[in-house]
Homo-oligomer: A and B are copies of this chain.
Amino acid sequence: MNHFAANLRCLFNPESVAVIGASDKPDKLGFHVMKSLTEGGFGGIIVPVNPGTSEIMGIKVSASISDYNGRIDLAIVVLPAKLVSGVFRECVAKGVKGIVLITAGFKEIDDPAGADLHEGIARIVNEAGIPVIGPNTFGMINFHANLNASFTPEFSRIKKGGICFVSQSGGISHLLGFMAMRMDVGFSKIVGLGNRLNVDFPQMLDYLMVDPDTKVIVLYLEGVDDPRDLIETAKKYPAKKPVIAYKTGSSMVGDQASLSHTGSMAGRHEVYTGAFSQAGILNIDNSETLLDTAKAMALCPMPEGPGMAVLSGQAGPGMAACDLCEDHGLEIARFTGSTQQEINDLLPPLALRTNPVDMGPAWYNSSAIKGIVKAVMNDTNVDGIILLMMFASANVDAVRGISDLLKEWAQKKPLITCILSPPGIWDEQIKALEESGSLANYPTPERAAKAMVNLWKYRKMKTG
């Protein structure tokens, strides 16, 4: 591992963090960064830096990082742009390993002065081999290190998991983070790349491919930069970890002079997405599906083929899932004779016992439901199972009866569920199943089916 890469690892796993521009005033970002670090439970040393105050949130403040009598691994910088180059020189002198530069007002402001500042600070850190997340970022969070190095303390509420989100947009990062809290999806890291001084998508890919906490890599991109480096980097890891990407910027928004220079945005957008597919990156076209797909990839094995079993407590949701599967390249499997026989033995003769299976007649018989799922799981024609159950207080017992087995089942083949109840009815049990890390549960049958579609698309792209 080279010097820069070693420093990048240290940036995400520091033992000591300085907040340069820390503040005790709630209208300053330096206040919110301090809040994120302290409330996020970071176990290392926190060093607020501010020449004008002596204590912030009960922690002794240093006037500058040079004044601090100890090592600083990570510096989070929240100062006005014009002060940054001076601070960067101090960071180099102090032996800082990595920097998160939250400050805006560099290349992105479309003013030559901003671009000059950008080049100036880049020279300082590049010579020293110090990686910088930013400028113009909300920051980053390494959940497994309890390190919330962002100005959004609420990010700390997201649970630990295997998804790393690397994003060019703070807005989309917050969107996905808030969705993750509501859907109880676990992340390893969320990284706001901002204007990418020297840490861009390729550097992040190289790091994340060897990061033991990250199972699935999720990218959000926009703009018209040359994607060649990213594509070439992704190609180095053909089968290591799934990479999925959401790229916006297909719209013409013809009004904007800055875009008219680059020719057809839509055309360029297709070049991007085509290149992503060739590099083994799965293209996703909206934020909800991005999180849904990442969740399935983090929790489920990939399907070995397109054959799906759709097991539903009610006909309608089953049909909705079947429609979506067939529209997107999955197939509704034909069961083997022995599977069909087992199902016929478990369901009354007049029920719909072929695929999609109407589990309704077995509502009050969880051992029949168990038997059906087991038979289907062992069927060689079935590559994945979509299990759908809408229930309320009248039939909570049936769902309770099968919950213990859901974990076991999910290990063999992808099992994606839409187990849904009114708020307050069995919420805790569903949450417990989700938290056990073995249930990929979704709020609608179509979203469950779409997540399975994307597992199969990814698998197919990888195997040709």
Contact = CB atoms under 8 A, between A and B. Distances in A.
Given A171-B315, A354-B256, A177 B444 contact: no
A319 B249 contact: yes
A463 interface: no
Most chain B C-beta atoms within 10 Å of own C-beta, residue among A109, A153, A318, A319: A319
A171 B288 CA distance: 23
Nearest to A334: B255
Interface string A17-58: 000000000010100100100000000000000000000000
Given A327-B250, A422-B157, A422-B178, A316 B392 contact: no
Contact of A287 (B152, B286, B391, B446): B446
Interface in A259-285: none
Nearest to A157: B422
25 contacts: A27-B364, A152-B392, A154-B393, A169-B314, A169-B315, A169-B316, A169-B317, A171-B314, A171-B388, A172-B317, A172-B320, A174-B314, A175-B317, A175-B420, A179-B444, A222-B319, A248-B323, A251-B322, A251-B326, A253-B332, A254-B334, A286-B320, A287-B445, A288-B446, A288-B447
Contacts of A319: 169, 222, 248-249, 251
Contacts of A424: 154
Interface in A296-337: 312-320, 322-327, 332, 334
B390 A171 contact: yes
A350 B288 contact: no
Contacts of A182: 423, 443
Nearest to A324: B286
Given A169-B319, A178-B422, A287-B446, 10 more contacts: A152-B392, A154-B422, A171-B390, A172-B314, A172-B316, A178-B421, A248-B322, A251-B327, A286-B444, A288-B444
A95 B259 CA distance: 72
A420 to B, nearest CB: 5
Interface in A340-356: 350, 352, 354-356
Interface string A385-419: 00010111110000000000000000000000000
User: Can you tell how many copies of this chain the complex includes?
Assistant: 2
A111 interface: yes
A461 to B, nearest CB: 22
A394 B152 contact: yes
A412 B354 CA distance: 52
Contacts of A315: 169, 171, 222
A168 interface: yes
Nearest to A105: B350
B251 A175 contact: no
A253 B167 CA distance: 40
Contact of A248 (B252, B316, B388): B316
Contact of A250 (B251, B326, B388): B326
Contacts of A312: 171
